[in-house]
Amino acid sequence: PDNPTVLGVSVSARLIAAGLDRATPVAVIENATRTDERVLAGRIDGLGDLVENGVIDGPALLVIGKVAAQAQPRDVSATRDAA
């Protein structure tokens, strides 16, 4: 799907249906390594809302599992603009 929210809901629903714990941590990294990088963090059962509310419009990586629990939500571009 072209809509990231639909993709997020589809991915999470399929993984939960396959037995993944609904509380599994996820992180979405938009524009990784770029000056406008953003990191959104949440749980797999809220992935659709996370993507929709975060308004993802750049390329994004989806990280699922224990390592995603270490993600620190951030918006590098907001920090840069404030400087």
Q: At residue 64, what is the residue type?
A: I
pLDDT at residue number 41: 93
Long-range contacts of 40-44 (CB under 8 A, 24+ apart): 40/73, 41/68, 41/71, 41/72, 41/73, 44/12, 44/15, 44/16, 44/20
- 55's tokens: 């308004």
- List the pLDDT tens digit at each of the 83 positions of the chain: 455 555 667 888 899 999 999 999 999 999 988 888 999 999 999 988 888 887 787 888 899 999 999 888 777 655 444 54
